[in-house]
């Protein structure tokens, strides 16, 4: 761990680092600052990995006898990025207090991209900008330089990986609504992955953000004595800056990201993995997206179960996921809770077709305040191409409903997360129901295994509250829940209005000063 006697040992290292990094931020917007900090953490990671192999090559013992530490092929053979001298951490840290350090870091990032094709277009060159003063940048370099100082190189990489992941989450919290566009809360990701159990095979996320689904899948495999290469990663992202974060996030975990693609058009208009049939599709698509170019895709071959409305992409995403599933594939994803009941523009008919095709396996109702970028109530869907494939119990004519609305705990006034115990309760319920040797039982108010016949009787509405034994909500409306959401949204609007008014006043003041001169 980093040696820093000025910090209290009660605070975890990553929290100490975050507080110190945030202090150096000064007046830089969190959305911009995250690229500064995360880029440096990534640079420290690849430099540490390079230096470790460089030393072994230089010593020339065993398999490294006669090796040249400046030979690029030696690094390629061990899946280590080659770092040129001007990009090595030791070189930059020695220059951290120089006034040109911002320019030096930009040059270092550019040199790394030129040496490593997999990183081209990934690293940010933002360090020479005027709003990042050299003193603060030098302090940040010294701070990052102390991460895992004195640890073995393998341990160093693990520490840096955890710090990178933690900082992603903290930046998402700092950005609020905008942060939710690139980050899915860790406890939600963990729940999705634990439910699906991706021990091996192809894992696909067509709206992959910063890559949280992939990182958690890799952790799941390793936690169960597997190897990272047991799964293959495929992804697509339409925001280039988010894609860059994803590529770094995966590289710092030694996950092959060569099949994680980016284009402006997105998964609907320009599917970069058209022929992929994945074993697992895990995703958190934008809720109720009305700007998905649905009018250009009315005759698309993916709409096997019905043409989704142009004003809402929820059922387009569902069918996109299904299109990419192998014959025995499974998918788990987040959607707005309204998708469970909506009948507008043919959505009810599509949902009916999905149920009748025996694709829906499990629905989980989520509590409020889990997501940073929306107060819209959410749910988890789990679909399976073949519910009678012999791997698990035959659930062809059943759907499991779980109501988790009262689970989780608040970590601050506006954000909730699941505990490990919460996750295991939901996961254990699903696995006991799904597995042939499970001891599943319905629990009133929490879970119910409903027949397709029962779902049909309820007009294919998939809200868990209708099945688990609670009173049917009038039009699925919960006054207290909705009032809390509206109050939070109103507070957000007032805050944004105040910020906008302040900016207008500042701009008017500038205009007045110019006129006076």
Q: What angle do CA 452, 458, 461 make, to 5 degrees?
A: 85
Contacts of 399 by beta carbon, 8 Å cutoff, 6+ apart: 355, 360, 361, 362, 363, 449, 450, 452, 455, 462
pLDDT at 471: 40
Radius of gyration (C-alpha) of the chain in whole angstroms: 25
Q: What is the length of the chain?
A: 517
- Among candidate residues 204, 269, 214, the one with its CA nearest the CA of residue 236: 204
Say if residue 106's pLDDT is above 80: yes
pLDDT at 14: 79
CA distance 165 to 41: 10
Predicted confidence band at 357 (pLDDT cuts at 50, 70, 90)? Answer: very high
Under CATH, which number does the domain 13-176 receive? 1.20.1260.30
CATH topology for the 178-479 domain: Rossmann fold (3.40.50)
Higher-pLDDT residue of 161, 36? 36
CA distance 190 to 181: 18
pLDDT at 507: 66
Q: What is the pTM of this model?
A: 0.84
CB atoms < 10 A from the CB of 372, how many?
22
End-to-end CA distance of the chain: 57
Listed in order, strand segments (DSSP E) in 162-255 are 201-205, 231-237
Cβ–Cβ under 8 Å, residues 42 and 251: yes
Say if residue 10's pLDDT is above 90: no
Say if residue 183's pLDDT is above 70: yes
- Among candidate residues 363, 362, 343, the one with its CA nearest the CA of residue 352: 343
pLDDT at 220: 92
Ranges of H-type helices in 86-231: 89-94, 101-115, 134-145, 153-175, 186-196, 212-223
Say if residue 15's pLDDT is above 80: yes
256: left (phi over 0), alpha (psi -120 to 50) or beta: beta
Contacts of 400 by beta carbon, 8 Å cutoff, 6+ apart: 361, 362, 363, 429, 430, 433, 434, 447, 448, 449, 450
Predicted confidence band at 258 (pLDDT cuts at 50, 70, 90)? Answer: very high
Mean pLDDT (whole number) for 373-388: 91
CA distances from 430 to 174, 286, 363, 476 (A): 34, 25, 10, 24
Predicted confidence band at 499 (pLDDT cuts at 50, 70, 90)? Answer: low
CA distance 465 to 473: 8
Predicted confidence band at 362 (pLDDT cuts at 50, 70, 90)? Answer: very high
Predicted confidence band at 69 (pLDDT cuts at 50, 70, 90)? Answer: very high
Percentage of the chain lying above the pLDDT 70 cut: 87
Mean pLDDT (whole number) for 176-191: 81
Using a 10 angstrom Cβ sphere, with 0-12 exposed, 13-18 middle and 19 or more buried, the burial of residue 425 is: middle
Say if residue 516's pLDDT is above 60: no
Mean pLDDT (whole number) for 103-112: 98
Q: CA-CA-CA-CA torsion for 331, 333, 339, 345, nearest 10 degrees?
A: -60
Say if residue 323's pLDDT is above 70: yes
CA distance 247 to 244: 5
Two structure tokens written together for 185: 């809360």
pLDDT at 148: 67
pLDDT at 93: 95
Cβ–Cβ under 8 Å, residues 298 and 307: yes
- Three-state SS for 125? coil
Say if strands 260-262 and 231-237 run parallel, antiparallel, or are unpaired. Answer: parallel
CA distances from 446 to 141, 381, 404 (A): 50, 16, 7
CA distance 348 to 13: 50
Higher-pLDDT residue of 62, 394? 394
Question: Which residue has tokens 């992941």?
Answer: 165
Say if residue 472's pLDDT is above 50: no
Say if residue 502's pLDDT is above 90: no
Q: Which of 310-314, 370-374, 474-478, 512-516 is most confident? A: 310-314
Neighbouring-strand partners of residue 281: 204, 331
pLDDT at 156: 61
Cβ–Cβ under 8 Å, residues 53 and 74: yes
Residue 437 CB-half CA count within 13 A? 1
Say if residue 394's pLDDT is above 50: yes
Range name among 379-383, 385-389, 429-433 with the lowest pLDDT average? 385-389
Question: Which residue has tokens 């909730």?
Answer: 416
CA distance 169 to 171: 5
Residue 438 CB-half CA count within 13 A? 17
Higher-pLDDT residue of 252, 155? 252
| Helix (H), strand (E) counts: the chain | 16, 11
Q: What is the DSSP letter of 474?
A: G
pLDDT at 517: 55
CA distance 40 to 299: 46
**Average pLDDT of the chain, as a whole number:** 88
Say if residue 332's pLDDT is above 70: yes
CB atoms < 10 A from the CB of 219, how many?
16
Say if strands 415-417 and 398-403 run parallel, antiparallel, or are unpaired. Answer: unpaired
Predicted confidence band at 5 (pLDDT cuts at 50, 70, 90)? Answer: very low
DSSP string for 154-189:
HHHHHHHHHHHHHHHHHHHHHHGGGGGGT---HHHH
Cβ–Cβ under 8 Å, residues 283 and 319: no
């Amino acid at each position: 761990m980093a040696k820093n006697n000025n910090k209290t040992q009660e605070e975890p290292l990553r929290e100490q680092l975050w507080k110190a990094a945030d202090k150096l931020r000064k007046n830089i917007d969190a959305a911009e600052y995250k690229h500064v900090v995360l880029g440096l953490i990534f640079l420290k990671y690849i430099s540490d990995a390079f230096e470790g192999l460089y030393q072994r090559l230089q010593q020339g013992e065993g398999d490294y006898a006669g090796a040249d530490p400046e030979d690029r092929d030696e690094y390629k053979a061990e899946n280590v990025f080659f770092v040129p001298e001007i990009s090595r951490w030791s070189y930059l840290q020695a220059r951290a207090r120089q006034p040109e350090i911002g320019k030096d870091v930009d040059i270092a990032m550019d040199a790394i991209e030129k040496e490593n094709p997999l990183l081209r277009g990934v690293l940010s060159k933002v360090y020479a900008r005027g709003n990042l003063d050299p003193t603060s940048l030098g302090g940040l370099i010294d701070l990052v330089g102390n991460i895992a100082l004195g640890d073995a190189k393998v341990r160093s990489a693990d520490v840096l990986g955890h710090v990178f992941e933690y900082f992603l989450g903290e930046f998402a919290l700092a950005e609020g609504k905008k942060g939710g566009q690139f980050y899915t809360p860790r406890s939600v990701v963990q729940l999705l992955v634990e439910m699906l159990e991706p021990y091996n095979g192809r894992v696909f996320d067509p709206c992959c953000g910063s890559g949280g689904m992939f990182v958690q899948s890799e952790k799941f495999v390793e936690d169960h004595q597997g190897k990272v290469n047991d799964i293959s990663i495929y992804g697509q992202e339409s925001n280039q800056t988010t894609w860059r974060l994803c590529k770094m996030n995966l590289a710092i975990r030694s996950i092959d990201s060569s099949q994680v693609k980016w284009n402006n058009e997105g998964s609907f208009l320009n599917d970069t993995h058209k022929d992929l049939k994945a074993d697992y599709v895990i995703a958190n698509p934008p809720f109720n997206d009305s700007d998905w170019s649905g009018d250009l895709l009315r005759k698309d071959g993916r709409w096997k179960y019905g043409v989704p409305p142009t004003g809402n992409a929820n059922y387009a995403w569902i069918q996109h996921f299904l299109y990419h599933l192998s014959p025995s594939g499974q998918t788990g994803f987040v959607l707005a809770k309204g998708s469970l009941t909506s009948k507008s523009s043919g959505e009810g008919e599509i949902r009916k077709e999905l149920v009748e095709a025996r694709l829906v396996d499990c629905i989980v109702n989520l509590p409020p305040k889990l997501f940073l970028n929306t107060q819209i109530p959410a749910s988890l869907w789990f679909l399976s191409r073949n519910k009678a494939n012999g791997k698990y119990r035959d659930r062809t004519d059943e759907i499991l409903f779980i109501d988790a609305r009262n689970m989780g705990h608040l970590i601050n006034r506006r954000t909730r997360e699941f505990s490990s115990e919460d996750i295991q309760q939901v996961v254990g319920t699903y696995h006991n129901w799904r597995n042939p040797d499970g001891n599943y039982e319905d629990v009133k108010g929490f879970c119910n295994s409903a027949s397709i016949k029962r779902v049909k009787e309820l007009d294919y509405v998939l809200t868990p509250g209708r099945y688990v034994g609670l009173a049917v909500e009038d039009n699925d409306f919960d006054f207290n829940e909705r009032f809390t959401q509206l109050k939070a949204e109103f507070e957000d609007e007032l805050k944004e209005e105040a910020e906008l008014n302040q900016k207008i006043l500042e701009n008017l003041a500038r205009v007045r000063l110019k006129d006076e001169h």
